[in-house]
Structures are given as structure tokens and as C-alpha cells.
Amino acid sequence: MSETQVKENQAPQFYLTEDHHPENSTMLGFWLYLMSDCLIFAVLFATHGVLGRNYAAGPSPADLFDLKIVALNTAMLLFSSITYGFAMLQMERNARMETLFWLGVTGVFGAVFLALELYEFYHLILEGAGPTRSAFLSSFFTLVGTHGLHVTFGMIWLVTLMVQVKKHGLITENRRRLMCLSMFWHFLDVIWIGVFSFVYLLGALV
């Protein structure tokens, strides 16, 4: 009795014939993760809101921030959002090379964003306005640095997925992963709206 069962089980049977759309709860689960990430940023925003005017007789945002670089940074992140959207559209068309191309363009914009942010941080620290200078700068580096860290991990994820798509094509698993990264990437752009409005523009204003 058990033998026949084993024999039946030996022939692998897959019922997942539908591979066009992943119908599962991964997207909802990933959305919940993003919401918890949102809480992390909310707490960091609150910290910056409380400490953002405590300069300890040090430099104020108006002395430090170069809004032209911030505007360029914002443009880079916005461009990377739309190019990731183009990659998703190509993925739906099942065009592997085009998807890879737009993912690559997204990666370039993301890398330029990170380079500009590191350049800004480097100059701030060089001017003596590092995270240890005042409470304002501590909260600034924590908030913007956490966002930059997210973008860095998004870049690692992006490159990993490009290798996966190159190797295995646009299979169901890779589509699901690309959709998760899409949400992550657009979410980071949403957080950046808060950063440039609340930290940079309002900071430079007062």
C-alpha cells in the first residue's frame, strides 16, 4: 500500500501551470514590510523635527546645504523611478533585454544619487560639520544616512536581480522579485520627498 504511494509520488507533478501572474500574498507581505520601514523613517523624521534646530553654536542648515546638489539628487531619484517603471512595462511584454536595459539605466541613476550624497557627506565632514558636531547634524546624518543605506541595499538587490534575469530569464520567481524591488524603489523615492521637503527645503528656509 505504501509502495504504490511512493511510486505515485516519484513522478513529480506540478499544478502550478499558470506562470503568468503570481497569485499569492508576497506582495501584501512586502507591503507590510514597507509599512514597518515607514515607521522607522517616521521616528527618524520625528527625531530630526525635535533636534533640527539645536545647532550647539555650530553651523545651521542655511550655512551648509547646497540646494542645487539636492535638486540634482532629487532629479536622479525621480528619473530612476520612471526608468524602473519602464523596466516593469518591458517585463510585462516579456522582453528580457529591454528589461535589463532599463534596470541598468535605473542602476546608473541610483549610483549617481549615491555618489552625490557621499560627496555631500564628505564635504560636510571635511568642513567640520560631521555627525558629532551638533544634535541637528546627528539627526540629519542618521535620517539621510538611513535613506542612503536603503538605496545602497536597493542597488545590491538590483544588480543581483539583473544577474538572475540574465541567467534564468523572466521566470515567475524573477517577476515576483522584480515587483517587490519595484515597490521598494518607489517607496524610497516617496521617503525622499519627505527628506528634501522637510530636512533640506525647510531647513534652508529658517
Partner 1 sequence: MSAHPLPSHESASETHHAHSHGHGAGHGSLKSYLIGFVLAAILTAIPFWLVMDGVLDSKLATAVLVMGIGAVQIVVHMVYFLHMNPRSEGGWTLMALIFTLVIVGIALAGSLWVMHHLNTNMMPMTQDMMKNMP
Nearer to partner 1 by C-beta: 94 or 197?
A: 197
To partner 1, the closest distance from the beta carbon of 19 in angstroms equals: 15
To partner 1, the closest distance from the beta carbon of 162 in angstroms equals: 20
Q: Which residues contact 158 (CB under 8 A, 6 or more apart)?
A: 103, 106, 107, 110, 181, 185
For the chain, how far is it from start to end, CA to CA, in angstroms? 81
CA distances from 48 to 43, 102, 129 (A): 9, 35, 16
| Grid cell in block for residue 179 | 515587483
Binding site for partner 1 (CB under 8 A): 21, 23, 25-28, 30-32, 35, 38-39, 42-43, 45-47, 49-50, 67-68, 70-71, 74-75, 78, 81-82, 85-86, 88-89, 92, 179, 182-183, 186-187, 189-190, 193-194, 196-198, 201-202, 204-206
Nearer to partner 1 by C-beta: 6 or 39?
A: 39
| Grid cell in block for residue 29 | 507581505
DSSP state, 130? S
| Cβ density class 9-42: b for 16+ within 10 Å, e for less | eeeeeeeeeeeeebeeeeeeebeeebeebeeebe
To partner 1, the closest distance from the beta carbon of 193 in angstroms equals: 5
Nearer to partner 1 by C-beta: 58 or 125?
A: 58
Nearer to partner 1 by C-beta: 8 or 184?
A: 184
To partner 1, the closest distance from the beta carbon of 59 in angstroms equals: 18
To partner 1, the closest distance from the beta carbon of 85 in angstroms equals: 4
Nearer to partner 1 by C-beta: 114 or 182?
A: 182
Q: Find the radius of gyration of the CA atoms of the chain.
A: 22
